Structure 1
């Protein structure tokens, strides 16, 4: 009998992140949790030797199979074979392994094998040594997918999500990138992802750029000329968006449950608040791409590699989000 939509399991490509950091041990612990292997078909970019060694180090057992089977992971091999990478160290070799695995994960999506991708933490310095020179991973993903639509890093903590109109650019360039179209695009992207995560009618706050939301033009006109028209355009499309809100108070209201999501104008406007509210629970989604891609928001934590103390919470949240978005993506593709 054909599966119903509710019975269709999403298929997730899972990479071990930077092999020099805590990514491999987080991966093994995720896969050793029985519930996780019943939520999705998981295709892991490693081989049996590597996974067994990591699992033994952290004291867990990971059930594997050659084909998808309930409660088992499928090992599809790394995108790059070679000698082990030196741990706790920034290196070109680590960056090359990460990029090869991510390219293989993208190919698994292109060929219809998976519906979403999750990767454990990366190290930007190693990626740079290996040749990733885009603004961030999101632009690298978009380039390799040939995708030219709207993209934004989305940051999740339980109960709240942010998107950005601008991201990894100098502050001096932010105002020039803000216009009604870019504001509308960030609102629409956040609304779509929130709906995909299970919220039918998201409540979205949009930040101002200037102090006191510009105070009627006294401190800048971006709110009047660009941000307000973007919010109005979103509301005309049926999106429950409000603003521009002063950015020094909007996260207090969001923390109290008034909003499901906040659109910020630049990177730190949202990241400082989100990390204060939920650093140990944060997840980043590479928003706007045709394939959902999720990762924990923290780094590779070289100082605790192999000690068995890495907090699994953000990786678990990233996995659960990849499963939810992957399920929606698979249903849409079917």
Structure 2
């Protein structure tokens, strides 16, 4: 058994950068709820990147407070165990923020604060990023020229290999071959390379978080997985050959399974690879909407967020649940610790 020194134990405490998401939604409220719990404040050294007024507003809405300190040097914050550090920052956004509606100003704030959190992590100040929900319409109004934040991250971070959104819930992970594209385009976008890439992505992510031999299953595209070509040939012509290609690479993938039954096998699996967005998202959200996590897999730094949206309709009401951001924070800490452990072992 390896025994860590005191300094090594201290070095294993992760440092997490937290961005509060779209100010028109529930982001600041759920961040405040998360950090009001003492155990979370001691689970990691926490760097909040947000406008100070927004953080205070989140605490006011949820009716809970916690102590934090302002960063003396926003470029080089000093951490104190159990006391989050706030970098008071709103980028190019202007006050006041409109609430419960998509705006360019809110989109700019969400992008600018998240970009700063990513910069801290790339620079090694923090080990991982956990962010509250974004609104894609606000992001596009605010100037994001990508279909979603995953592609925006990829432009900033230049991942070396497959990347994409992964979802995690109670130990089950999903990846998808296509994501934010029209359903009519899905079949034409399925290729052996893309499918193998989605399998590689979820396999590498799971091994990074400590799952030594991930059990991965592949989902078909058509009803009954095509039923031997009766309802489409994608399973025969593309998906089946991709499974064989993945197995030749040593990836432990099973299948293929129809999409309407594959999630019944969830207790036997660590991961499911789906062909398009809703094929996995509907099942995952039904199984645990309040606990689901999205991980931006394949990036050189860990990035996690709740799988739910901004919930404009309940902004300011103090009704927002914080289960999903708790789960996202836990995943970010787990990935950050694995990253630190790998660095210590190198």
Q: TM bucket by the smaller chain?
A: over 0.9
Query: Is residue 77 from structure 1 mapped to residue 58 from structure 2 by the alignment?
Result: no
CA–CA distance in structure 2, aligned partners of residues 273 and 6 of structure 1: 39
Are residues 209 and 5 of structure 1, via their aligned partners in 2, closer, same or farther at CA, if it must alter by over 3 Å?
Answer: farther
Q: Structure 2 residue aligned with 1:162, among 153, 157, 174? A: 174
Q: Deviations over 1:114-144 (max 9, x none)?
A: 1111111111221111111312110111112
Are residues 49 and 178 of structure 1, via their aligned partners in 2, closer, same or farther at CA, if it must alter by over 3 Å?
Answer: closer
Query: What is the deviation of 1:245?
Result: 1.0
2:22 is matched with: 18
Query: Is residue 118 from structure 1 mapped to residue 141 from structure 2 by the alignment?
Result: no
Query: What is the deviation of 1:192?
Result: 1.8
Query: What is the deviation of 1:49?
Result: 4.6
Query: What is the deviation of 1:5?
Result: 6.5
For structure 2, the 5+ residue unaligned runs are 72-77
2:279 is matched with: 269
CA–CA distance in structure 1, aligned partners of residues 294 and 332 of structure 2: 10
Q: CA RMSD in A?
A: 2.0
1:153 alignment partner, SS class: strand
Are residues 104 and 79 of structure 1, via their aligned partners in 2, closer, same or farther at CA, if it must alter by over 3 Å?
Answer: farther
CA–CA distance in structure 1, aligned partners of residues 12 and 289 of structure 2: 32
Query: Is residue 56 from structure 1 mapped to residue 60 from structure 2 by the alignment?
Result: yes
Query: What is the deviation of 1:14?
Result: 0.2
Query: What is the deviation of 1:48?
Result: 4.4
CA–CA distance in structure 2, aligned partners of residues 180 and 54 of structure 1: 46
Normalising to structure 1: TM-score of the pair? 0.93
CA contact 1:10–1:40 (8 Å) conserved in 2: yes
Query: What is the deviation of 1:7?
Result: 5.1
Q: Structure 2 residue aligned with 1:291, among 282, 285, 301? A: 301
CA–CA distance in structure 2, aligned partners of residues 6 and 134 of structure 1: 39
CA–CA distance in structure 1, aligned partners of residues 243 and 6 of structure 2: 43
Query: What is the deviation of 1:195?
Result: 2.5
Query: What is the deviation of 1:333?
Result: 4.2
Query: What is the deviation of 1:53?
Result: 4.0
Query: What is the deviation of 1:218?
Result: 3.3
CA–CA distance in structure 2, aligned partners of residues 218 and 51 of structure 1: 56
